[in-house]
Amino acid sequence: MTPLAAAANESLAEISNYLIYSSMAVYMLAFFAHIAEWTFGSRSKVGRTAAALTGAGAGASEDAASVPTLTAYGQGGDTAVLDRPKVTTRSAAGTRDVPDGPGAAGGTVQGDLYGRIAVSLTALAFLVEAAGVVARALSVQRAPWGNMYEFSITFSTVAVGAYLVLLALKKNVRWLGLILVTTVLLDLGIAVTWLYTDSDQLVPALHSYWLWIHVSTAIFCGAVFYIGAAGAVLYLFRDSYESQLEAGRTPGKFRTSVLERLPSAASLDKFSYRINAAVFPLWTFTIIAGAIWAGDAWGRYWGWDPKEVWSFVTWVAYACYLHARATAGWKGRKAAYLALFAFACWIWNYYGVNILLSGKHSYAGV
């Protein structure tokens, strides 16, 4: 490599670092906007809005005067839909028939405004971070997935991208925004603090088109599995909340304010299942592609390397989860625990195996 080319690559690496840090700053702004969305959509406003819309309770007319009127697109101009229609989910016989909550904004105009600002900032941060990943790829002139730092910044980019795609498809996932932005900031903080590695070329074994195929699908699967796991975690909280109400107990004000705005437990359970089921075939392909690449690089398709073992364990865990849902009728908390165990296996395969265990996948370093 000529000195001029080396200097150009070094400049691109610096630009990449600047863009990653810039994306973290924008994600931080999005984090505060999401906090504002939840704050201004608080329980008291949800209650006043519900009273105004239904006319229930004494003094409903006075409450209605203080609550903005919410109309639909195409009805009298360009007013946005803030109050979702009541959606009742019936996932199985004997389960609760509970409507989905109004979302983080709580059906209020001000909460919705901050929510839209948060989504816009998240989209901007996604574009900046994606540019940082591209700059990193140009600086090393290869796929930017040669070490844990590059994997981490790409992982968070794909996770946010998947969230934005679901929003663009009009899916009810804006409640995921605060959790997503928080974990993305955590992921990037770990990446730039402990996992950062200077731009460098790969060892000869990794110079293959399979790098683009195998690692890209692994990153995509992990990012989507994360969204499914987030849905499972929120399901557990919402199901506990619904169980308390069903038993006649009164949850705390903060707990009620947050959990009553989420989709119903049945909706979250179904969301997590559909996400995991959709990406599982691609995870199967990821393992097969890795085995083919191993055959080309090392002369064997399977060698019980720690990375290979835990990739297979993750596959088995998700396969058990999907099989239990399909045949044993597992829904609810047991299925959620199994889904979270499967994602924990994926996380261990990424952090634990890469950092604590040694094997043929260790040559890329941190």
43 band by pLDDT with thresholds 50, 70 and 90: low
pLDDT (average), residues 50-61:
42
In eight-state DSSP terms, residue 304 is -
Residue 99: count of CB within 10 angstroms of its CB: 14
Residues 6+ apart with CB under 8 A from 282: 217, 220, 221
pLDDT in tens, 221-276: 999 999 999 999 999 999 999 999 999 998 998 899 999 999 999 999 999 999 99
pLDDT in tens, 133-181: 999 999 988 888 888 999 999 999 999 999 999 999 999 999 999 999 9
Residue 353 or 341, more confident: 341
Three-state DSSP at 257 gives helix
Residue 295: count of CB within 10 angstroms of its CB: 13
Q: What confidence score (pLDDT) does residue 76 get?
A: 37
pTM above 0.95, yes or no: no
pLDDT in tens, 266-280: 999 999 999 999 999
Q: How far apart are CA 164 and CA 79, in angstroms?
A: 22
47 band by pLDDT with thresholds 50, 70 and 90: low
pLDDT in tens, 347-357: 999 999 888 88
Q: How many CA atoms lie within 13 A of 317 on its CB side?
A: 21
Q: How far apart are CA 301 and CA 291, in angstroms?
A: 5
Joined tokens for residue 198 = 């200077």
pLDDT above 90: residue 326: no
pLDDT above 70: residue 79: no
Q: What is the DSSP string of 48-116?
A: HHHHHHH--STTHHHHHHTS-----TTSSSSPPP-SPPP-B---STTS---BPP--TTTT-HHHHHHHH
Joined tokens for residue 324 = 């239990």
Residue 194 or 51, more confident: 194
pLDDT in tens, 81-130: 444 444 444 444 445 778 899 999 998 999 999 999 999 999 999 999 99
Q: How far apart are CA 348 and CA 69, in angstroms?
A: 49
